[in-house]
Structure 1
Amino acid sequence: MDWLGNVIFEDREIENERLELTDKEANYILGPNLTLNNCTLVLKVSARGLSLNRARFINCTFEVKQELKNYQQWITASLKGCRFKGRLSGCDFGHWPEYGKEPEYQRGSIEDCDFSEARLDACRFHGDDPRSLQFPKWPCFTLLDPIRRADELRDLPWPKVFGRRLTSMLDQSPENRYKHPRSTIALSYYAPAEAKRLDITEEAFKAALEKCDFIVY
Structure 2
Amino acid sequence: MELDSKTELYYLGHDLSLRDCTLVIRVPAKALVISKAQLINCTIEAKRELKGYRWHSAILKGCRFSGAFSGCEFGRWPYAREPELGGIEDCDFSEARLEACVFMGCDARTLKFPSWPCFTLLDPVRRKDELLALQWPGTMRITVESFVEGPPETAAVTYFAPTVAKRTGTTPEAIRAVLDTLPGVIL
Please confirm whether the aligned pair reaches a TM-score higher than 0.5, indicating the same fold: yes
Q: Is contact 1:156–1:211 with CA below 8 Å preserved after alignment? A: no
Partner of 1:140: 118
Which of the pair has the greater relative contact order for Cα pairs under 8 Å at 6+ separation?
2
TM-score (norm 2): 0.95
Aligned to 1:88: 69
Which residue in the other structure is 1:41 paired with? 23
Deviation at 1:168, TM superposition (A): 4.6
The alignment covers a number of residue pairs equal to: 187
Paired residues of 1:121 and 1:190 also in contact (CA < 8 A): yes
The offset of 1:56, in angstroms, is 0.1
User: Which runs of 4 or more aligned residues in structure 1 lie more than 4 Å from their structure 2 counterparts after TM superposition?
Assistant: none
Offset at residue 67 of structure 1 (A): 0.3
Which amino acid in 1 is paired with 2:171? T
TM-superposed deviation, 1:142: 0.4
Partner of residue 150, structure 2: 180
The alpha-carbon deviation at position 213 of structure 1 amounts to 2.4
Aligned counterpart in structure 1 of residue 173 of structure 2, from 199, 203, 208: 203
| Superposition CA RMSD, Å | 1.2
**Given that residues 58 and 81 in structure 1 are in contact (C-alpha distance below 8 angstroms), is that contact kept between their aligned partners in structure 2?**
yes
Letter in 2 for 1:87: A
Q: Which has the larger radius of gyration?
A: 1
Tell me the alpha carbon deviations over residues 125-171 of structure 1, each in whole angstroms, 9 at most, x when there is no partner. Answer: 0014210000001100000011111111122332141123312542x
Three-state SS of the structure 2 residue aligned to 1:135 is: coil
Determine if contact 1:157/1:207 at 8 Å carries over to the other structure. no
Q: Is the 8 A contact 2:147 2:157 kept in 1?
A: no
Report the identity percentage. Answer: 51
1:109 is aligned, of 83, 87, 100, to 87
The counterpart of 1:125, out of the listed 94, 103, 112, is 103
- TM-score w.r.t. the length of structure 1 is 0.83
2:57 to 76, 79, 90: 76
Residue type matched to 1:44 in 2? R
Structure 2: gaps (5+ residues): none
